[in-house]
Chain A
């Protein structure tokens, strides 16, 4: 009897929630949608349009490209760039992190190792002149006095005070494969590595211990048991925010709150695609995933509400599609959208969002941004532009 009552209450609560989320006198509980985007390309001063990494640092935004480093001054909109002739040690900048305490910018170089950009000077560490394990660096993270580099042959950790290099591979970490895709640290006690074929590794700084997150069903092609762990061991990004661990992979996304796992796929979420290159997380409720078909932002975890940002085939415009459990709640036409649908990297900057794409940098300006959901009218769909000559 008691159980039955609980179920009934739960159902009622569910219905009430659904009712609350549903349209009500023309208004709905809807997420914030970035409707104002700016695009930056070579024409705006970037050294290259293939953007591999983006990192916001106060009023400055650091941009790693296939052929140089750039810095956008948000206030003036001016871009300054550095290529090899300016001292950049290697042309392809694939990862960026900023040491908030020192202001130094750390760069992962795709074949060139690791670099520090400090006060206009580039310092260079590579596998011949230092203890860096490999020169193909996919990810970089600043953790206290340590710099972590995710490389194609393991992870390296460099202590800037002691100058000591540590290498983490299958020999001393639960790394079944050593192809590291990303490293992240958000100020807590944990560093996360996303590893091709080895899932996500969590390094406990205080305990000096590793923990691995693998796909428990061990299936490479299918996710046999949903929500049993990460969706796939080919992980590309992992970030902790607000107590939740968000993970991107080439086969979908995952979220772990310390107790429960949740998987996200294109088929039942707002993810534009399951092929995810990376992610950036804002909170336990909001994360942005970088896919090959646009950016997918889960904006309210509890209601599985997403906004997918895509670019139209022609012109600069695009769409923001709000979905909940795959149901389209709103489609917002964007006169200027994201620069390209192939998203490689992303970063948050207060209310703003930055996207590194295969053709240019996107700046989502978050004026009036609010987290989660709010009751607001749906954005009216713009009528499709009439073809020339039609009536």
Chain B
């Protein structure tokens, strides 16, 4: 498909091709042609000036509006890393065909035109010809969509982010319909030109040397934050609507008063000031409907609009770039015009716009994990929020360097010898390889999804990278820094630890293995043969989840790993044996046996144990409690002796749930700072370091005194924003009864623990529900599967207190802070497709299945049963309750909130109670009556392709 100008004359050919395709049963391949192509027929009074009305509407400025500082603020509170004009979530409602492939858009289609005709009426290539459009029924058959107000609500439903920033009132549907109404007057046949509006340029003028090139050409460079969004600023101005305003009744009236007969949009008297360069020469890219463009003030662009020229301000002026003066304005605005005010109104400085509310960027560090560079003088600390690794001089106890790495660095490890360091970048799906001498990145390795733990074997042959979202381990050859293979882990692989003899690489998995509804779960400790680089054993830890930190005892006889014991099969109101979540350690013996002990005490939980490190003499193990800001000192000898005294029955059934037991072996609790995560013991055993994630500091623990003796500041902002306050509250267990758990206990990193909970107080297992992610949820209200919470404030307020924390609820100020944090939890980039990237053939076919309106045997699928109806972009939810036939006997209701589908691949299990282990099962097992979309006519490859497409959303 080449260009609108070529498309329209070739309309018959397009139609013929479509007819031919239909004849052969080939799927339709509609293409977005852009609003200007529609303008070819929808311009002029006879058809109600429809194009002019759209151009004059907010819809046409929707993309430009994303350049406003408020849009940036919305993005920030929504947890999006991209700028608004590049964020799929924003573009989904502020542009047309935002996630279409290149081939789905005509060459002349411009995303800058905002919400265009085809956003509502569907891609136009198949129905745009005059012959089809003159027959409404044919046009509908060919794909013309006539939307109703429900369709509009796909975007115009209330969004928390927009309410928060814009104080936007709820959409008044009637008024909105009236605002965008574009009826065609009369019933007779309208004569159309079939050409988009253009300049009536005399042939002799077209020969002129100085030509107008149009605003879009200027906009190709004058866009983006670095250029002050100049094109968008213009696009939002009245100048950009100068031509479209001529189609309004007021313009007609004024023209009549001036004795102008006919269409003002074609009247030279009007166009002289309502377009640019009227009567002069234009290149093909200059359009009359752009109104008063950049060149109206700066002169025809063909003389200077070259990047090389424009980079030299004086050269550009010499080439013809004009600096507007008062006279420039007065030519059209008249002598009474307040030029200063006018200039201010259209100001478009090329520097980034300043935030309207006086906000400034506050950056924290969020240190997570550490490694000592061989030699012991430098401690390297990954700082998740700063996208950097901070180097700390251990002797001076201060940071000496900060190395920028990829997004969200999690763990760091050194190659034997210390020449190279490896840093996992969770956001970017990469590992940064750093030359430790120069402290420069020498290579970036592509890993699986969300890399977390990194470690090398003893010989330095292989680098192991635990990918926590894709559930596997990437193995790289260190000598060549090349990918070797992928090992299967369990769910949420987290951290790695090498046995003292170098033989076994032990891997924790944060999420429990998937277990069917109402069955107990178990976690896995994955044992990798470090010499062969293969998984040789998988130790099962019954009833445990959230296994994160791991370390070997120097004897090599056992390893320790942190864990939670989450009792999801009993109602959350049951308080026996430490309530819903208890916290402790697994002791994995070399022979394969696994013991579990708690670190909670009857009145004081040890929430969110995150990491563990043994002292070199084997005497102590230090365990961080991220939720209670403490480090537990475990006396190893006492622990092993106590276990040794216990019977087999006690070790299997009593001790794992025994809250009195820790007094046998927990020597001391050491207070540290906010949210301690990683812990590391110096090789000489004199000190330990604790990364206080939400304090941007390290605590130094003197291992003789067993006290925190120093705080190493890592340089994060000292200002505690509301976001930071919320982040701390979210990760702290003091809000819960006995400090048993925090919000993060069930929503690690704002995501899921993959557990189905029986939340209610009935005690009989009514309505167990699957835990849902908090990533990118700000505008997806209502919350809860049953849709009972209209806002996050309600979700995190009294309800949280009643069902989850059993203590006084957050204060209003705390609640606002938690809300601020939760709404900003980021959804990682989609691993299967970046915005606008081509789909692979299977995904492309899957997209057609997702949007299909007919079954394979030719039956029309009712609108309410099409995928796209309930899973409307950009969140792919209409935020309504639907009964898709999944009600189970114990469910209170059959209608459930339509979940958003972005990154749906990383939040298994599925459906309201997590009964579908995979996306396929949603339809192969739980959709027998075609109530969750019509799917039973689909072939297996169609279902596969649908799944492949869903993973790209």
Interface set of A (CB-CB < 8 Å, partner B): 101-104, 116, 118-121, 123, 127-131, 133-134, 145, 153, 160-167, 169, 171
Contact = CB atoms under 8 A, between A and B. Distances in A.
Contacts of A145: 485-486
Given A131-B943, A131-B944, A121 B524 contact: yes
B819 interface: no
A104 B535 contact: yes
Contact of A160 (B488, B490, B534, B905): B488
B842 interface: yes
Nearest to B534: A103
B941 A133 contact: yes
Nearest to B484: A101
A165 B842 CA distance: 10
Interface string B472-499: 1000000000001111101000000000
Contacts of B805: none
Given A119-B536, A123-B488, 17 more contacts: A101-B484, A101-B534, A103-B529, A103-B536, A119-B538, A121-B538, A128-B920, A129-B920, A130-B918, A133-B940, A153-B940, A160-B488, A161-B472, A161-B486, A163-B470, A167-B941, A167-B944
Given A160-B472, A167-B941, A129 B921 contact: yes
A102 B485 contact: yes
A118 B924 contact: no
Nearest to A164: B948
A233 to B, nearest CB: 24
Contact of B537 (A119, A166, A171): A119
Contacts of A160: 472, 486, 488
A103 B484 CA distance: 13
20 contacts: A101-B484, A101-B485, A102-B485, A102-B488, A103-B529, A116-B488, A119-B535, A129-B917, A129-B918, A129-B920, A130-B920, A133-B940, A145-B485, A160-B472, A160-B486, A161-B470, A162-B832, A165-B947, A166-B944, A169-B941
A127 B939 CA distance: 11
B921 A119 contact: no
Closest 3 CB pairs of A and B: A103-B534, A119-B535, A131-B944
A20 B17 CA distance: 70
Contacts of A118: 488, 535, 538
Interface in B505-530: 524, 526-527, 529
B532 interface: yes
A103 B532 contact: yes
A150 to B, nearest CB: 15
B395 interface: no
Interface string B70-83: 00000000000000
A216 B534 CA distance: 45
A102 B948 CA distance: 26
A119 B472 CA distance: 13
B178 interface: no
B92 interface: no
B917 to A, nearest CB: 6
Contacts of A162: 832
A11 B629 CA distance: 92
B925 interface: yes
Contact of B941 (A128, A164, A171): A171
Contact of B925 (A104, A128, A167): A128
Interface in B447-476: 448, 470, 472
Nearest to B485: A101
A49 to B, nearest CB: 30
A133 B533 CA distance: 31
Nearest to B921: A129
Contacts of B832: 162
Contacts of B534: 101-104
A120 B488 CA distance: 12
Contacts of B485: 101-102, 145
A307 to B, nearest CB: 35
A225 B532 CA distance: 51
Given A164-B842, A169-B941, A128 B924 contact: yes
B27 to A, nearest CB: 14
Nearest to B526: A119
B448 A127 contact: no
A131 B488 contact: no
Interface string B925-945: 100000000000000110110
Interface residues on B, range: 35 or more
A123 B471 CA distance: 13
A160 B842 CA distance: 17
- Count chain B CB atoms within 10 A of each CB in A104, A119, A164 and give the residue with the most: A119
Contacts of A167: 940-941, 944
A162 B446 CA distance: 13
Contacts of B905: 163
B12 to A, nearest CB: 32
Interface string B574-615: 000000000000000000000000000000000000000000
B832 to A, nearest CB: 8
Given A119-B527, A129-B921, A102 B941 contact: no
Contacts of A119: 526-527, 535-538
A164 B485 CA distance: 17
- Count chain B CB atoms within 10 A of each CB in A101, A116, A171 and give the residue with the most: A101
A160 B940 CA distance: 19
Interface in B901-925: 905, 917-918, 920-921, 924-925
Contacts of B920: 128-131
A119 B504 CA distance: 13
A107 B58 CA distance: 59
A172 to B, nearest CB: 8
Contacts of B940: 127, 131, 133-134, 153, 167
B944 A127 contact: no
Interface string B433-451: 0000000000000001000
Nearest to B471: A163
Given A119-B526, A129-B918, A165-B944, A102 B535 contact: yes
Nearest to A101: B485
A195 B925 CA distance: 30
A56 to B, nearest CB: 16
B547 to A, nearest CB: 15
A104 B487 CA distance: 9
Contacts of B948: 164-165
Nearest to B529: A103
Given A161-B472, A161-B486, A120 B538 contact: yes
A131 B920 CA distance: 7
Contact of A120 (B537, B842, B924, B941): B537
Contacts of A121: 490, 524, 538
Contacts of A101: 484-485, 533-534
Nearest to A131: B944
Contacts of B535: 102-104, 118-119
Nearest to B832: A162
A130 B925 CA distance: 11
- Count chain B CB atoms within 10 A of each CB in A102, A153, A161 and give the residue with the most: A102
A127 B470 CA distance: 21
A123 B490 CA distance: 10
A129 B486 contact: no
Interface string B535-554: 11110000000000000000
A161 B903 CA distance: 17
Given A128-B925, A129-B921, A102 B536 contact: no
A167 B472 CA distance: 24
B488 A129 contact: no
A105 B910 CA distance: 28
B847 to A, nearest CB: 15
A131 B946 CA distance: 10
Contacts of B924: 127-129
Nearest to A172: B941
Nearest to A123: B488
Nearest to B942: A167
Nearest to B448: A161
A35 to B, nearest CB: 34
